[in-house]
Amino acid sequence: MFRRICKPFILLAGTLLLVSVAGANPAAPSDSAIALLQKAVNGDWRSAAHKARDQYRHPIETLQFFGLRPDMTVIELQPGGGWYTEILAPVLTAHGHLLEASDPKFADKIKANPAVFGHIGNIIPFDPPKQVRLGADNSADMVLTFRNAHDWLIDSPDTLAAVFKSVFDVLKPGGVFGVEEHRARPFVAAADNVTALHRIPEDYLIALALETGFRLAGVSEINANPKDPEDINVHRLPPDLVGPEAEHAKMLAIGESDRMTLRFVKP
C-alpha cells in the first residue's frame, strides 16, 4: 500500500506546488534536552498504562522530530487525559512555558499534581468552533496536536480550517506546528472517511496547512504502523477496543493506529 505523501508534488487548489522535505530535520537536540525527555518519560507520575503506550506513540522521538527545546513556549491543543502533558510539563518547567488549550475540567489534572504541573498557567479556553483563539499573535514557539484533527473535521471542514488559522496566528515566525493524526488511505474522500473511521488522509492535512500559509518542514514515519489496514475505525484498535470481544486478540496483534507525523513551520 502506498502510505507516504513524501512526493515532490501536491495538488492544492488546482495548482501543482513543489514541496521539498529533504534535509528539513530540526537541529539535533542537546544532550541535556534528551536527558530531560528521558527523565520525563520515565517519571513515576506516569501510570503503567500510559507507559505501556510508549511503544506505539514514541514520545521521545516524536518530540525530537518536532524540535522541542526546554526554553520554548508551547501550546498543547485539547490534551484529553494529558498523556503528552505528563511529558511536556517537566521538560518545560524550568526554562519554558506550557499552555493547555482545553476545557476547564483539565484544570483538575493540573491541581492533582502541582509538583509536575504546578507551573502551567491558566487553561486557554478552547472549544472549536465556538472558541479557537489561542492567544496573542506571534507569541508561541510551538503548537502541538495529537490525534485531535479528526474531531475538528468531523465537526466540519470549516472548523478544522479555523483551528489551523488560529495556530498560524499565535505562532511566531519560524514557529512549529506539530501534528500527529490517525492516517487514512491516501486521496480518499476526507469527510466521509473521518466520520466512519476517525482517520484523515495525509495529503488532505498537508494541503490544508499549505493553504493556511504554513510550509511543510518534515514528514516522519515515526508513528507509522504497517499492520494497520487503515480501513477500520481507530477505536476498534487498542487502547479502546470498542468492538466485540471476539476480535480483541486480532486488534491487539495490529496495535495502535497508523499515524502521520508532520512538522509545519510558519514563515
Rounded to an integer, what distance in angstroms lies between the CA atom of residue 115 and that of residue 28? Answer: 29
Average pLDDT, the chain: 90
Query: What's the pTM?
Result: 0.91
Would you state the pLDDT for residue 27?
65
Please tell me the distance from the alpha carbon of residue 247 to that of residue 237, in angstroms, as a whole number: 10
Res 248 pLDDT > 70: yes
Does 239 sit behind a cis peptide bond, omega within 30 degrees of 0 on the bond before it?
yes
**Percent of the chain whose pLDDT exceeds 90:** 84
- Segment 64-91 mean pLDDT: 97
Q: Are 215 and 206 in contact (CB under 8 A)?
A: no
Task: Give the C-alpha separation, 35 to 29, whole Å.
Answer: 10
> pLDDT tens digits, residue range 24-39?
456 677 778 899 999 9
User: How far apart are alpha carbons 159 and 128 in whole angstroms?
Assistant: 6
Structurally, at CATH architecture level, domain 9-265 sits in: 3-Layer(aba) Sandwich (3.40)
Q: For residues 113, 114, 120 and 123, what is the CA-based torsion angle, rounded to 10 degrees?
A: 60
What is the 8-class DSSP label of residue 102? E
Distance (Å, whole) CA 167 – CA 113: 28
Q: How far is CA 258 from CA 142, 144, 153, in A?
A: 24, 18, 18
Q: Is the CB of residue 72 less than 8 Å from the CB of residue 142?
A: yes
| Coil, helix or strand at residue 18 | strand
The mean pLDDT of 205-217, rounded to a whole number, is 98
Work out whether strand 200-201 and strand 171-184 pair parallel, antiparallel, or are unpaired. parallel
Comparison of pLDDT for 5 and 116, the residue scoring more: 116
DSSP annotation of 113 reads -
Q: How does residue 5 score in pLDDT terms, banded at 50, 70 and 90?
A: very low
What pLDDT does 237 receive?
98
Name the amino acid, one letter, at 48: A
Domain boundaries along the sequence of the chain: 9-265
Residues in the chain: 267
How far apart CA 37 and CA 35 sit, in angstroms, is 5
